[in-house]
Amino acid sequence: MNEMHYQLDLLTAMNQKLMGNEKMFRMICGTSSNAFLYYIFSEDRFEMLGLWQHYFDFPIRSASDLHRLINCAKAEYISALEETLFCENKHKESQIAECEMQDKKWLEFEVTVTYSETDEPSEKIIRIRDVTKRKKQTEELKYMAYYDSLTGLYNRNYFVRILSEWVRKAQTEKATIDVLCIRMDDFKRINDSMGMIAGDEILQAFGLFLRDLQSEDIIVSHFNDDIYYLAIYNPYGNHNVDAVYRKIGQRTEQPFQMMGNIEQKITVSIGVANYPESARNSLEIINCAEIVQSQKKESGTNSIAYFEAPILTDFIENIQMENKLKEAIEDHAFELYYQPQYDAGSKKLRGVEALIRWRGQDGKFVSPAVFIPLAEKDGLIVQIGNWVLEEGIRVYADWYRKYGYPMVLSLNISALQYKKADFVHHLLMLIEKYQVDPALIELEITESVLIEDFNSVVDKLNTLKEYGIKISLDDFGTGFSSLSYLKGLPIDTLKIDKSFIDTVINDHPTRVITESIIAMVKKLGCETVAEGVETQEQYEYLKAVNCDNIQGFLLGKPMPAEGVEKILSSIKN
Ligand code: C2E
Ligand code: CA
Ligand code: CA
């Protein structure tokens, strides 16, 4: 009897303990944000624990009910979920499936199976967790890592990654890849004139069009500002650039619709590089395409240029030249030469044009026609131009003190120098510092100075004129719209370009134009200077048609300062 009491007490105590444990487990499950399914194999019975009702509005009682749960997943996740839920994994670790459900929630299913001593599956726990938030954050991060937020196109990093994969694939498949660097022309102008929002809009609109060109073998990316890249994988080694170029041409014939019913047409310039012809790794191919693109010369058309080896050689030479130019600025390796200009009738010295000379390390001169355009491209011209201004004015002041001869000093000024806010101030400061007469300083400008911002340049020219400084229009006749510019411009002198002088003797139309220019310029009250006069015949002709001044090898080549001093001293004596 005692024994029975004892057994009963023991059972009651164990029961209480078990109930306590179950209560504890239920509490733990209830307070977590997960739902649980507890399964006993021998009974084919499921128990639902935790926040089951929060997740699902149906019960799971036996293994056959699991299909209801599985069918809640989106089609593409069903088989993975099925495999996970029915798994009888003998390895200790649990099995996990992450699935997107029909209601767009992301759920994680973690399944753990326990085994009896006889190695039979005894129990299974399925833990269900809502991972939507984490998934969204990961997606966002992934998006940020892969996409450009402005256009929704792939970003640079992702493009490089895919291109690198394509290059590896192309090596084994003997395929080729074309990479197009596509730059929207004049984007800066659109952005400046219509505002940043409109600028973004046009970038997005064009990006959207490019996105539609994407396919299994075409990937498009927005790198930055106005630069897009497109890569074409050509599995059969053929080139498919033409088709893409044609589509871009067709699309850009039509304007893009912007907010406020504004229509905007664009053109692009495209540089194409190719794997394996141009380069053999992704970054190099991208660089090659960019280099080709940057060589674009004409604007207003959809231009396309293909990579050729000399382009790269030129580019490298330019870079080397650029570095040498920087050194030259530091080493003061520049000199000024001066070319005399004479009155056509009296042959009296009118003045000199200062022309820069750069003596390279080998002692030979590098032509300014080569390095000035380069210096203009990378902005070094501002420092170089400032040196020319000061050196020219300093030497000129010295001559004036010594010889007292009132000749004109002509200085070539680049567009970038004019653009600097302090250009006028800087020049006036030099004139003051060296005490020269501003009326004897003449600035030579070319049409390129006027093209970008006509009104602000004219304002500056007017200010310069107020101080008595002369303005000369250089290389006249080489641009298209020179004549139309003339009327709004406060110029004193017009230089007829050497290309006219070269043909003026033998070409009748050139003669007609030259004579008309001279007559017209005189009516406007300006002086003319003929450039590049090399022969006596040219000189006689120009004198006969009333050209005011002559500059050229015939009467004097550019010379160092000492040469000018010789001329000046001969005039004096
Ligand atoms: P440019 O201003 O048109 O200068 C005239 C160029 O023609 C000079 O070449 C001069 O040496 C050359 N020349 C003059 N007479 C004759 C001739 O009878 N026959 C031939 N064949 N050539 C003649 P240079 O000195 O090589 O200068 C080339 C260009 O470099 C200049 O053209 C100018 O655009 C630029 N440049 C030169 N110095 C400066 C400077 O200090 N600043 C800026 N911004 N540009 C400069
Ligand atoms: Ca000049
Ligand atoms: Ca010239």
Question: Residue 552: is its pLDDT beyond 90?
Answer: yes
Question: Is the pLDDT at 6 greater than 80, yes or no?
Answer: no
Q: Ligand 2: distance of its center to the CA of 441 in Å?
A: 13
Range from 95-104, 301-310, 477-486 carrying the lowest mean pLDDT: 477-486
Percent of the chain with pLDDT over 70: 95
**Ligand 2 center–CA 299 separation, angstroms:** 25
Residue 474 Cβ < 6 Å to ligand 1: yes
Judged by average pLDDT, the poorest of 140-144, 343-347, 429-433, 523-527 is 140-144
Q: What's the pLDDT score for residue 10? A: 73
Task: Give Cα 12 to chain centroid, integer Å.
Answer: 81
| Lowest mean pLDDT, pick from 163-172, 253-262, 542-551, 560-569 | 253-262
Q: What is the 3-state secondary structure (H, E, C) of 379-403?
A: CCHHHHHHHHHHHHHHHHHHHHHHH
Cα distances (Å, whole numbers) of residue 128 to 14, 41, 83, 447: 31, 19, 15, 74
pLDDT digits (tens, 9 = 90+) for 504-518: 999 999 999 899 999
113 C-beta closer than 6 A to ligand 1: no
Q: Which amino acid is at 286?
A: I
User: For residue 62, what pLDDT is reported?
Assistant: 92
Task: Kindly give, in sequence order, each residue whose CB lies less than 8 Å from that of residue 504, ignoring residues fewer than 6 positions away.
Answer: 510, 511, 514, 538, 541, 542
- What DSSP character marks residue 364? P
Q: Are 99 and 70 in contact (CB under 8 A)?
A: no
Residues 6+ apart with CB under 8 A from 217: 232, 233, 234, 235, 240
User: pLDDT tens digits, residue range 212-243?
Assistant: 999 999 999 999 899 999 999 999 867 789 99
| Distance of CA 330 from the midpoint of ligand 2 (Å) | 25
The pLDDT assigned to 530 comes to 97
- How does pLDDT run across 267-326, given as a tens digit for each residue? 999 999 999 999 989 999 999 999 999 887 666 688 899 998 888 888 888 888 889 999
Cα separation of 206 and 188, whole Å? 15
Cα–Cα distance, 155 to 228 (Å, whole number): 9
Cβ partners under 8 Å of residue 530, min gap 6:
344, 495, 496, 501, 538, 542, 547, 549, 550, 551, 552
Mean pLDDT for the chain overall: 90
pLDDT mean over 389-398: 98
Distance 334 CA to ligand 1 centre (A): 15
pLDDT digits (tens, 9 = 90+) for 437-480: 999 999 999 887 777 677 888 889 999 999 999 999 998 877 65
In the beta sheet, which residues pair with residue 227?
Answer: 183, 224
Residue 475 alpha carbon, nearest atom of ligand 1: 3
Q: 22-78, pLDDT tens digit by residue?
A: 776 777 766 778 999 999 999 999 999 989 999 999 999 999 999 999 999 999 999
Q: Ligand 2 centroid vs 410 CA: distance in angstroms?
A: 8
Q: Residue 4: what pLDDT? A: 67
Rounded CA separation 430/413 (Å):
15
Nearest CA residue ID for atom 3, ligand 1: 475
pLDDT at 193: 85
Q: Which two tokens stand for residue 18?
A: 């078990």
Contact 11, 18 (CB under 8 A): no
Which atom from ligand 1 is nearest to the alpha carbon of 551? Answer: 15
pLDDT confidence tier of residue 102, bands split at 50, 70 and 90: very high
Between the two ends of the chain, the Cα-to-Cα distance in Å is: 152
388 Cβ inside 6 Å of ligand 1: yes
Residue 252 CB–ligand 1 contact under 6 Å: no
How many other β-carbons are positioned within 10 Å of the β-carbon of residue 351?
Answer: 25
